[in-house]
Amino acid sequence: MIVPPALVPVSPTTRVISCAADEIGEVAAAIVATVPSDGVLGVATGSSPLALYAALIRRRAEGLRTEGLRLLALDEYVGLAASDPRSYAAYVRSVIAEPLGIPAHNVRVPSGSTAADGAAYERAIAEAGGVDVQIVGIGRNGHIGFNEPGSDAETRTRVVELDESTRRANAEHFGGDLSLVPTHAMTQGVATILSARRIVLVAAGSTKAAALRAALTGPVTADNPASFLQRHPDVTVVADPDALREDR
């Protein structure tokens, strides 16, 4: 597996694995599968980690013990009920927890719209003993979780206003109708994400290339929140050549 030289990360604690798009799930799942069977897995939503979850489900069918895992989600839309199929609570339940045999009482997803709700989620993470491996994607504008550009390194779980570019990217899950996409979300903050013991970032496609390049090789800046991953002691990026291109 060859990493384009221009995308050798600035941080010596960040590893980059370049593989074909259809191999990302298996490669990332091999890392995630090292979480203890009763450990804490931080889960991202959206399309980027779908292949990873599918690979974990296949591994479970082959004997991987997953039913004792505890899941902590990155974010949730404000205003969508957990029963709404477009909510991230529904995503975590149907795409990850149920196929992996994880009971509902071992699953936490951010909820609410107040500072107290954010503080409660921070306590839940602490009470779980912290996150063993946190899965993240990267937005086209460099967001991780829903930490949009301008989010600093000290942020914790809170309500944020979603950038229009983020809402447009997510409109496909709302029938293409931007007006139906919530304007706010509850998200783990940058500092919350960085508190995980290990982080695995998955990315595919040329639309992620500019943001990923800036995160890996550019300065650490709130303009690209993913760049704060350079400060973490154990990050693995699994991406295809299109996402790792230096000319996009």
- Whether 22 sits among the annotated catalytic residues: the reply is no
Options 122, 132, 143, 170, the catalytic residue: 143
Separation between Cα atoms, residue 207 and residue 110, nearest integer Å: 28
- Whether 147 sits among the annotated catalytic residues: the reply is no
Separation between Cα atoms, residue 157 and residue 145, nearest integer Å: 10
Location of structure tokens 């944020």: 160
Beta bridge pairs of residue 239: 18, 203
Q: Which H or E run includes 239?
A: strand 235-239
- Whether 223 sits among the annotated catalytic residues: the reply is no
Options 76, 122, 148, 240, the catalytic residue: 148
Options 75, 76, 122, 132, the catalytic residue: 75
- Asked if residue 78 lies in contact with residue 114, where contact means CB atoms within 8 angstroms, the answer is no
- Whether 143 sits among the annotated catalytic residues: the reply is yes
Separation between Cα atoms, residue 26 and residue 52, nearest integer Å: 6
Options 122, 132, 141, 232, the catalytic residue: 141
Catalogue the active-site residues.
75, 141, 143, 148
